[in-house]
Amino acid sequence: ATDFPIITLDGGAATGKSSTARGVSQQLRFLHADTGSHYRALTFLLLRKGISPEESDELTEALEEMKLSAEVDGTLASLIADGKKLSPEDLRSLEVNRNVSSFAALPPVRNRLLRYQRWHRELALEKGFLGLVIEGRDIGSVVFPEAPFRFFLEADESTRIQRRSEEGQEDSVAARDKADSGRKTAPLHCPEGAIRINTGNYTLEEVISQICQKVQNDSDALQ
Ligand code: CDP
Ligand code: CDP
C-alpha cells in the first residue's frame, strides 16, 4: 500500500491542529496521532523520575527503559508508556506546559519518538483505517516529509491566547513557539510545499472541510 494517504498538520500552539485533525480523522476514517501528546507524556514521566531537561546518562537510560505502545479509541491513538495511559490533566498540567519545549529540544528525546511516530502508519493500516492524519511541529518536515498532504496552520497570537484562556489553561503560547522555532533539531517552520491555512479566518468546520476536500479530490485511494 504505497499510496496509503498521510495528512500532516504542523503549526504553533493553539493554531487548531488537534481539533482539525480530530474532525478530519472522523470524516475520512483516518487514524489520528497527536505528537504533541507524545512529547507531553514523556515530559510528565521524566519529570516524575526527577530527570531534568538536559542531556544526561539518566535521561538516556530512562528513554531506553520506556516501553511505548498505543491504544486506539475511536479514531484517536493515545500513547501508552509502560502499560499506562496518562490523563488529559497530567498531559496539560502547568508543570508539563513549562517543561515540554525544553525536553522536546533534546535529540535523544526526539529520536526516541521519531521511530514511534513513524510506526503509526503501520498501526493505521493494521487497524483498517483509510489513512493517517498526524499533527505536531515537525511532521511534514521530519517525520513524514514525503506525505502527499501537508498543511501548516497559523493564527494571530491574540487569537491563540484567547483560545487557550477560553479553555481555562495557563500556557505561555508565545514562549513555547519561540523555543520550538528557535531550537536546532527539527525546529517549527512551514515545510516547503505545505499549504498554509490561517485558522483565524475560518470556522473549525471550514478548515476541516477544506482539508478533506483537497484529500478526496487528489486521492485515488479514497474513491
Ligand atoms: O497543543 P499545543 O499546540 O499547545 O501543544 P502540543 O501540540 O501539545 O505540543 C507540546 C509541545 O511538544 C510543543 O510546544 C513542542 O515543544 C513539542 N512538540 C514537538 O517538539 N514536536 C512535535 N512534533 C510536537 C510537539
Ligand atoms: O492543537 P492545537 O494546540 O494547535 O489547537 P487546538 O487545541 O485544536 O485548538 C485550540 C482552540 O482553538 C480550541 O478550543 C478550538 O476549539 C479552537 N479553534 C478555533 O476556534 N478555530 C479553529 N479553526 C480551530 C480551533
pLDDT over 70 for what percent of the chain?
97
Q: Which atom of ligand 1 is nearest to the CA of 176?
A: 14
For the stretch 134-164, pLDDT in tens is 999 999 999 999 999 999 999 999 999 999 9
Q: What is the DSSP string of 31-68?
A: EEEEHHHHHHHHHHHHHHTT--SS--HHHHHHHHH--E
CA of 139 to the centre of ligand 2 (A): 18
Mean pLDDT of 111-133: 98
Distance, CA of 57 to CA of 13 (rounded, Å): 30
Q: Is the predicted pLDDT of residue 3 greater than 80, yes or no?
A: yes
Length of the chain: 223
Pocket test for ligand 2, best of 163, 176, 201 (most atoms within 8 A of CB): 163
Nearest to 10 by CA among 138, 145, 200: 138
41 lines ligand 1 (CB under 6 A): no
What integer pLDDT is reported at residue 1 of this predicted model?
42
Parent domain of 181: 6-217
18 lines ligand 2 (CB under 6 A): yes
Mean pLDDT of 49-53: 97
Mean pLDDT of 97-108: 97
Q: Is the predicted pLDDT of residue 169 greater than 50, yes or no?
A: yes
Q: Classify residue 223: in a domain, yes or no.
A: no
What integer pLDDT is reported at residue 222 of this predicted model?
62
pLDDT over 90 for what percent of the chain?
91
Q: Residue 39 belongs to a domain with what CATH number? A: 3.40.50.300
Distance, CA of 36 to CA of 54 (rounded, Å): 19
Q: Classify residue 55: in a domain, yes or no.
A: yes
- Give bridge partners of residue 96 from the DSSP assignment: none
Tell whether residue 19 is among the known ligand binding residues: yes
Tell whether residue 14 is among the known ligand binding residues: yes
What integer pLDDT is reported at residue 170 of this predicted model?
78
Mean pLDDT of 161-184: 91
ipTM of the prediction: 0.96
**Residue predicted with more confidence, 120 or 170:** 120
Contact between residue 11 and residue 34 where contact means Cβ atoms under 8 Å apart: no
The count of structural domains within the chain is 1
137 lines ligand 1 (CB under 6 A): yes
Pocket test for ligand 1, best of 15, 32, 35 (most atoms within 8 A of CB): 35
What integer pLDDT is reported at residue 2 of this predicted model?
56
13 lines ligand 2 (CB under 6 A): yes
Distance, CA of 43 to CA of 38 (rounded, Å): 9
Q: Classify residue 1: in a domain, yes or no.
A: no
Count of other CB atoms within 10 angstroms of residue 29: 12
On the 0-12 / 13-18 / 19+ scale of CB atoms within 10 A, 208 is buried
**What is the chain's mean pLDDT, rounded?**
95
What integer pLDDT is reported at residue 221 of this predicted model?
54
Q: Classify residue 222: in a domain, yes or no.
A: no
What integer pLDDT is reported at residue 171 of this predicted model?
77
